[in-house]
Amino acid sequence: MNTVERISKFVGSTFSLWVILFAILGFFVPEAFVGGKGYISFLLGVIMFGMGLTLSSEDFREVFRRPVDVLIGVVGHYLIMPSLAFVLAITLQLPPDIAVGVILVGCCPSGTASNVMTYLSKGDVALGVSIAAVSTLIAPIATPALISLLAGKWMAIDTKSLFLDIVMVVIVPIVLGVIVKAFFGKQAEASAKALPLVSTIAIVLIVAIVVALNKGKIVETGMIIFAVVILHNILGYVLGYFFAKLFGLNLAKRKAVTLETGMQNSGLGAALAAAHFNPLAAVPSAIFSVWHNLSGSVLATYFAKKEE
Protein backbone atom coordinates (compact mmCIF):
# COMPACT_ATOMS: atom_id res chain seq x y z
CA MET A 1 0.00 0.00 0.00
CA ASN A 2 1.56 3.33 -1.10
CA THR A 3 1.44 6.65 0.75
CA VAL A 4 -1.61 8.00 -1.14
CA GLU A 5 -3.56 4.81 -0.42
CA ARG A 6 -2.64 4.94 3.29
CA ILE A 7 -3.68 8.60 3.54
CA SER A 8 -6.88 7.87 1.58
CA LYS A 9 -7.75 4.95 3.85
CA PHE A 10 -7.10 7.01 6.99
CA VAL A 11 -9.16 9.98 5.74
CA GLY A 12 -11.99 7.66 4.67
CA SER A 13 -12.09 5.98 8.10
CA THR A 14 -12.14 9.36 9.91
CA PHE A 15 -14.58 10.99 7.46
CA SER A 16 -17.06 12.23 10.09
CA LEU A 17 -14.33 14.07 11.98
CA TRP A 18 -13.19 15.90 8.83
CA VAL A 19 -16.76 16.96 8.04
CA ILE A 20 -17.16 18.38 11.57
CA LEU A 21 -13.76 20.10 11.43
CA PHE A 22 -14.51 21.85 8.13
CA ALA A 23 -18.01 22.81 9.26
CA ILE A 24 -16.36 24.52 12.27
CA LEU A 25 -13.76 26.19 10.02
CA GLY A 26 -16.51 27.41 7.68
CA PHE A 27 -18.29 28.96 10.66
CA PHE A 28 -15.32 30.59 12.38
CA VAL A 29 -13.19 31.43 9.31
CA PRO A 30 -15.87 32.12 6.67
CA GLU A 31 -13.65 34.42 4.62
CA ALA A 32 -11.53 31.39 3.67
CA PHE A 33 -14.48 29.66 1.99
CA VAL A 34 -17.12 32.17 0.82
CA GLY A 35 -15.34 32.62 -2.51
CA GLY A 36 -15.96 28.97 -3.30
CA LYS A 37 -19.71 29.30 -3.90
CA GLY A 38 -19.30 28.90 -7.66
CA TYR A 39 -17.38 25.64 -7.21
CA ILE A 40 -20.07 23.67 -5.30
CA SER A 41 -21.46 22.04 -8.45
CA PHE A 42 -17.95 21.22 -9.69
CA LEU A 43 -17.03 19.59 -6.38
CA LEU A 44 -20.21 17.51 -6.48
CA GLY A 45 -19.35 16.51 -10.06
CA VAL A 46 -15.96 15.26 -8.82
CA ILE A 47 -17.74 13.06 -6.25
CA MET A 48 -20.14 11.70 -8.87
CA PHE A 49 -17.28 11.05 -11.32
CA GLY A 50 -15.65 8.98 -8.58
CA MET A 51 -18.90 7.07 -8.13
CA GLY A 52 -18.89 6.32 -11.87
CA LEU A 53 -15.34 4.96 -11.60
CA THR A 54 -16.44 2.49 -8.94
CA LEU A 55 -19.64 1.27 -10.64
CA SER A 56 -19.49 -2.13 -12.31
CA SER A 57 -21.82 -4.25 -14.38
CA GLU A 58 -22.22 -6.39 -11.25
CA ASP A 59 -24.01 -3.52 -9.52
CA PHE A 60 -26.63 -3.47 -12.27
CA ARG A 61 -26.88 -7.24 -12.55
CA GLU A 62 -28.00 -7.16 -8.94
CA VAL A 63 -30.99 -5.05 -9.99
CA PHE A 64 -32.12 -7.78 -12.39
CA ARG A 65 -31.25 -10.63 -10.01
CA ARG A 66 -33.56 -9.34 -7.29
CA PRO A 67 -35.58 -6.43 -8.66
CA VAL A 68 -38.16 -6.60 -5.87
CA ASP A 69 -35.58 -5.97 -3.13
CA VAL A 70 -34.06 -3.04 -5.05
CA LEU A 71 -37.51 -1.63 -5.81
CA ILE A 72 -38.47 -1.79 -2.12
CA GLY A 73 -35.32 0.17 -1.22
CA VAL A 74 -35.72 2.81 -3.95
CA VAL A 75 -39.46 3.30 -3.39
CA GLY A 76 -38.92 3.42 0.38
CA HIS A 77 -36.23 6.07 -0.05
CA TYR A 78 -38.25 8.35 -2.31
CA LEU A 79 -41.47 7.79 -0.37
CA ILE A 80 -40.24 8.14 3.22
CA MET A 81 -37.69 10.97 3.18
CA PRO A 82 -39.66 13.48 1.05
CA SER A 83 -42.88 12.76 2.97
CA LEU A 84 -41.13 13.16 6.32
CA ALA A 85 -39.59 16.45 5.20
CA PHE A 86 -43.00 17.80 4.16
CA VAL A 87 -44.70 16.68 7.39
CA LEU A 88 -41.93 18.17 9.55
CA ALA A 89 -42.03 21.46 7.62
CA ILE A 90 -45.79 21.72 8.17
CA THR A 91 -45.82 20.49 11.77
CA LEU A 92 -42.94 22.69 12.93
CA GLN A 93 -44.19 25.65 10.86
CA LEU A 94 -40.75 26.21 9.35
CA PRO A 95 -39.94 29.49 7.59
CA PRO A 96 -40.23 29.13 3.77
CA ASP A 97 -36.49 28.98 2.95
CA ILE A 98 -35.80 26.40 5.66
CA ALA A 99 -38.87 24.37 4.71
CA VAL A 100 -37.73 24.25 1.07
CA GLY A 101 -34.19 23.34 2.17
CA VAL A 102 -35.44 20.43 4.31
CA ILE A 103 -37.70 19.18 1.50
CA LEU A 104 -34.84 19.58 -0.98
CA VAL A 105 -32.49 17.33 0.98
CA GLY A 106 -35.38 14.90 1.56
CA CYS A 107 -35.94 14.55 -2.18
CA CYS A 108 -32.28 13.80 -3.01
CA PRO A 109 -31.05 10.27 -3.86
CA SER A 110 -29.09 8.08 -1.44
CA GLY A 111 -25.73 9.39 -0.32
CA THR A 112 -22.47 7.64 -1.24
CA ALA A 113 -21.55 7.28 2.45
CA SER A 114 -24.54 4.96 2.95
CA ASN A 115 -22.71 2.15 1.13
CA VAL A 116 -19.78 2.42 3.54
CA MET A 117 -22.14 2.37 6.52
CA THR A 118 -23.96 -0.68 5.11
CA TYR A 119 -20.62 -2.47 4.88
CA LEU A 120 -19.69 -1.52 8.45
CA SER A 121 -23.13 -2.66 9.66
CA LYS A 122 -22.60 -6.14 8.13
CA GLY A 123 -25.60 -5.46 5.93
CA ASP A 124 -26.29 -6.50 2.34
CA VAL A 125 -23.71 -4.29 0.60
CA ALA A 126 -24.62 -5.41 -2.93
CA LEU A 127 -28.24 -4.43 -2.31
CA GLY A 128 -27.21 -1.10 -0.78
CA VAL A 129 -24.99 -0.23 -3.75
CA SER A 130 -27.78 -1.13 -6.20
CA ILE A 131 -30.34 0.98 -4.33
CA ALA A 132 -27.93 3.95 -4.26
CA ALA A 133 -27.10 3.56 -7.97
CA VAL A 134 -30.74 3.31 -9.09
CA SER A 135 -31.92 6.15 -6.83
CA THR A 136 -29.12 8.32 -8.25
CA LEU A 137 -29.81 7.46 -11.88
CA ILE A 138 -33.52 8.28 -11.59
CA ALA A 139 -32.83 11.46 -9.59
CA PRO A 140 -33.17 13.81 -12.62
CA ILE A 141 -36.83 12.78 -12.81
CA ALA A 142 -37.69 11.90 -9.20
CA THR A 143 -36.00 14.78 -7.38
CA PRO A 144 -37.42 17.76 -9.38
CA ALA A 145 -40.88 16.15 -9.51
CA LEU A 146 -40.99 15.62 -5.75
CA ILE A 147 -39.57 19.08 -4.97
CA SER A 148 -42.15 20.67 -7.26
CA LEU A 149 -44.96 18.66 -5.66
CA LEU A 150 -43.97 19.24 -2.02
CA ALA A 151 -42.14 22.58 -1.95
CA GLY A 152 -44.51 24.38 -4.32
CA LYS A 153 -46.56 25.36 -1.25
CA TRP A 154 -43.80 27.78 -0.22
CA MET A 155 -42.36 29.06 -3.53
CA ALA A 156 -42.39 28.60 -7.31
CA ILE A 157 -40.17 25.73 -8.47
CA ASP A 158 -38.42 25.67 -11.88
CA THR A 159 -38.65 21.91 -12.48
CA LYS A 160 -36.97 21.99 -15.89
CA SER A 161 -33.97 23.91 -14.57
CA LEU A 162 -33.61 21.48 -11.64
CA PHE A 163 -33.74 18.54 -14.07
CA LEU A 164 -30.99 20.01 -16.24
CA ASP A 165 -28.78 20.82 -13.24
CA ILE A 166 -29.08 17.29 -11.82
CA VAL A 167 -28.21 15.81 -15.22
CA MET A 168 -25.14 18.06 -15.48
CA VAL A 169 -23.77 17.64 -11.94
CA VAL A 170 -24.80 14.02 -11.31
CA ILE A 171 -25.53 11.97 -14.41
CA VAL A 172 -22.90 13.38 -16.80
CA PRO A 173 -19.98 12.91 -14.33
CA ILE A 174 -21.17 9.37 -13.48
CA VAL A 175 -21.39 8.46 -17.18
CA LEU A 176 -17.93 9.94 -17.78
CA GLY A 177 -16.60 7.88 -14.86
CA VAL A 178 -18.13 4.70 -16.30
CA ILE A 179 -16.64 5.48 -19.75
CA VAL A 180 -13.18 6.17 -18.31
CA LYS A 181 -13.33 2.91 -16.37
CA ALA A 182 -14.38 1.00 -19.51
CA PHE A 183 -11.54 2.37 -21.66
CA PHE A 184 -8.82 2.77 -19.03
CA GLY A 185 -9.58 -0.07 -16.64
CA LYS A 186 -6.21 -0.47 -14.92
CA GLN A 187 -5.58 3.25 -14.57
CA ALA A 188 -9.14 3.79 -13.29
CA GLU A 189 -8.72 0.99 -10.76
CA ALA A 190 -5.49 2.55 -9.51
CA SER A 191 -7.15 5.99 -9.30
CA ALA A 192 -10.13 4.55 -7.41
CA LYS A 193 -7.82 3.78 -4.47
CA ALA A 194 -7.47 7.52 -3.91
CA LEU A 195 -11.22 8.14 -4.12
CA PRO A 196 -11.91 8.22 -0.35
CA LEU A 197 -9.40 11.08 -0.10
CA VAL A 198 -10.71 12.99 -3.15
CA SER A 199 -14.38 12.51 -2.19
CA THR A 200 -13.74 13.57 1.41
CA ILE A 201 -11.96 16.74 0.29
CA ALA A 202 -14.84 17.60 -2.06
CA ILE A 203 -17.58 16.93 0.51
CA VAL A 204 -15.90 18.81 3.37
CA LEU A 205 -15.29 21.81 1.11
CA ILE A 206 -18.97 21.87 0.10
CA VAL A 207 -19.96 21.79 3.77
CA ALA A 208 -17.47 24.54 4.68
CA ILE A 209 -18.59 26.79 1.79
CA VAL A 210 -22.29 26.45 2.63
CA VAL A 211 -21.67 27.07 6.34
CA ALA A 212 -19.45 30.09 5.56
CA LEU A 213 -22.07 31.60 3.24
CA ASN A 214 -24.76 31.26 5.90
CA LYS A 215 -22.95 31.97 9.17
CA GLY A 216 -25.35 34.72 10.18
CA LYS A 217 -28.45 32.70 9.34
CA ILE A 218 -27.09 29.66 11.19
CA VAL A 219 -26.63 31.77 14.34
CA GLU A 220 -30.18 33.04 13.93
CA THR A 221 -31.98 29.79 13.03
CA GLY A 222 -29.41 27.09 13.73
CA MET A 223 -31.27 25.35 16.55
CA ILE A 224 -34.43 24.96 14.47
CA ILE A 225 -32.48 23.52 11.53
CA PHE A 226 -30.45 21.18 13.74
CA ALA A 227 -33.62 19.88 15.37
CA VAL A 228 -35.46 19.24 12.11
CA VAL A 229 -32.41 17.63 10.45
CA ILE A 230 -31.90 15.24 13.38
CA LEU A 231 -35.60 14.34 13.46
CA HIS A 232 -35.68 13.87 9.69
CA ASN A 233 -32.67 11.57 9.67
CA ILE A 234 -33.60 9.44 12.70
CA LEU A 235 -37.24 9.02 11.65
CA GLY A 236 -35.95 8.09 8.19
CA TYR A 237 -33.91 5.26 9.69
CA VAL A 238 -36.83 4.05 11.81
CA LEU A 239 -39.40 4.10 9.01
CA GLY A 240 -36.89 2.65 6.53
CA TYR A 241 -36.25 -0.31 8.83
CA PHE A 242 -39.93 -1.06 9.36
CA PHE A 243 -40.74 -0.48 5.68
CA ALA A 244 -38.21 -3.22 4.81
CA LYS A 245 -39.54 -5.44 7.60
CA LEU A 246 -43.10 -4.95 6.30
CA PHE A 247 -42.05 -6.67 3.06
CA GLY A 248 -40.37 -9.55 4.89
CA LEU A 249 -36.73 -8.67 4.07
CA ASN A 250 -34.11 -10.40 6.19
CA LEU A 251 -31.93 -8.48 8.65
CA ALA A 252 -28.99 -7.90 6.29
CA LYS A 253 -31.36 -6.44 3.70
CA ARG A 254 -33.17 -4.37 6.33
CA LYS A 255 -29.85 -2.85 7.38
CA ALA A 256 -29.13 -1.83 3.78
CA VAL A 257 -32.60 -0.37 3.20
CA THR A 258 -32.50 1.50 6.53
CA LEU A 259 -29.18 3.21 5.77
CA GLU A 260 -30.03 3.90 2.12
CA THR A 261 -33.29 5.49 3.26
CA GLY A 262 -31.94 7.73 6.01
CA MET A 263 -28.70 8.91 4.36
CA GLN A 264 -29.06 11.48 1.59
CA ASN A 265 -26.84 12.93 -1.14
CA SER A 266 -26.78 16.18 0.81
CA GLY A 267 -24.02 17.54 -1.45
CA LEU A 268 -26.58 17.55 -4.27
CA GLY A 269 -29.06 19.28 -1.96
CA ALA A 270 -26.50 22.00 -1.19
CA ALA A 271 -25.62 22.46 -4.87
CA LEU A 272 -29.26 22.75 -5.96
CA ALA A 273 -30.14 25.09 -3.08
CA ALA A 274 -27.19 27.38 -3.81
CA ALA A 275 -28.08 27.53 -7.51
CA HIS A 276 -31.89 27.84 -7.35
CA PHE A 277 -32.98 29.16 -3.95
CA ASN A 278 -32.04 31.50 -1.12
CA PRO A 279 -28.63 30.50 0.35
CA LEU A 280 -30.40 29.67 3.63
CA ALA A 281 -32.08 26.74 1.84
CA ALA A 282 -28.63 25.11 1.55
CA VAL A 283 -28.08 25.04 5.33
CA PRO A 284 -30.21 21.92 6.04
CA SER A 285 -28.10 20.04 3.46
CA ALA A 286 -24.85 21.20 5.06
CA ILE A 287 -25.99 20.21 8.55
CA PHE A 288 -27.37 16.93 7.20
CA SER A 289 -23.88 16.19 5.77
CA VAL A 290 -22.40 16.50 9.24
CA TRP A 291 -25.16 14.78 11.19
CA HIS A 292 -25.96 11.76 9.00
CA ASN A 293 -22.33 10.65 8.98
CA LEU A 294 -22.30 10.70 12.78
CA SER A 295 -25.67 8.98 13.15
CA GLY A 296 -24.85 6.53 10.36
CA SER A 297 -21.63 5.53 12.09
CA VAL A 298 -23.44 4.95 15.40
CA LEU A 299 -26.24 2.98 13.72
CA ALA A 300 -23.76 0.89 11.71
CA THR A 301 -21.89 -0.01 14.92
CA TYR A 302 -25.17 -1.04 16.58
CA PHE A 303 -26.30 -3.01 13.52
CA ALA A 304 -22.96 -4.84 13.31
CA LYS A 305 -23.69 -6.46 16.68
CA LYS A 306 -27.29 -7.30 15.78
CA GLU A 307 -28.13 -10.74 14.37
CA GLU A 308 -31.36 -12.42 13.23
Query: How far apart are the C-alpha atoms of 101 and 50, rounded to whole Å?
Result: 26
Residue 5 predicted with pLDDT over 70: no
Can you give the three-state secondary structure of 83-137, one letter per residue? HHHHHHHHHCCCCHHHHHHHHHHHCCCECCHHHHHHHHCCCCHHHHHHHHHHHHH
From the list 236, 257, 255, the residue with the least C-alpha distance to 308 is 255
* Maximum Cα–Cα distance across the chain: 53
Cβ atoms 229, 100 nearer than 8 A: no
SS3 category, 184: coil
pLDDT of residue 8: 67
pLDDT of residue 246: 96
Scored b (16 or more CB within 10 A) or e, 117-145 reads: bbbbbbbbbbbbbbbbbbbbbebbebbbb
When mean pLDDT is compared across 57-61, 177-181, 267-271, the lowest value belongs to: 57-61
Percentage of the chain beyond pLDDT 90 is 30
pTM attached to this predicted model: 0.86
Fold category of 3-305 in CATH = Na+/H+ antiporter like fold (1.20.1530)
Chain Cα centroid distance, residue 274: 16
Q: What is the pLDDT of residues 238-249, one digit of tens each?
A: 999 999 999 999
Using N-to-C axis directions, what is the helix angle for 125-137 and 139-151, rounded to 10°?
70
Bigger pLDDT: 291 vs 76: 76
